[in-house]
Amino acid sequence: MESLELLTETADIFRDKCVCCLEARENRCKELLEQSYAFAAEYTPYLGYDTVSRVINEHQGNVEEIREILESLTEGSK
């Protein structure tokens, strides 16, 4: 029972001293999201994982080009 109480108190302190103070920087989040390949997951049901992965690997570093290629490959599928 003591361990549970200690864990509960520790979680409360962590929340009060660390988590409650966090603020998302919307511009930075948006910037990171736009540079990621997360959007490509949307295309896997239409093209399959292997195709989407191949396009990403062949065009690494050019997110806009990847987006355009995936969009052109799914025309009429969505």
pLDDT in tens, 38-59: 999 999 999 999 999 999 999 9
What is the band of 34 on the pLDDT scale with cuts at 50, 70, 90? confident
Number of domains in the chain: 1
pTM score over 0.75 = no
In a domain, 34, yes or no: yes
Q: 16: domain range? A: 2-73
Q: What is the mean pLDDT of the chain?
A: 92
Examine the pLDDT at 78 and tell me if it is beyond 70: no
In a domain, 27, yes or no: yes
CA dist., res. 2 & res. 27, Å (int): 44
Radius of gyration of the chain (CA): 21
In a domain, 78, yes or no: no
Which pLDDT does position 71 carry in this prediction? 94
pLDDT in tens, 6-33: 999 999 999 999 999 899 999 999 999 8
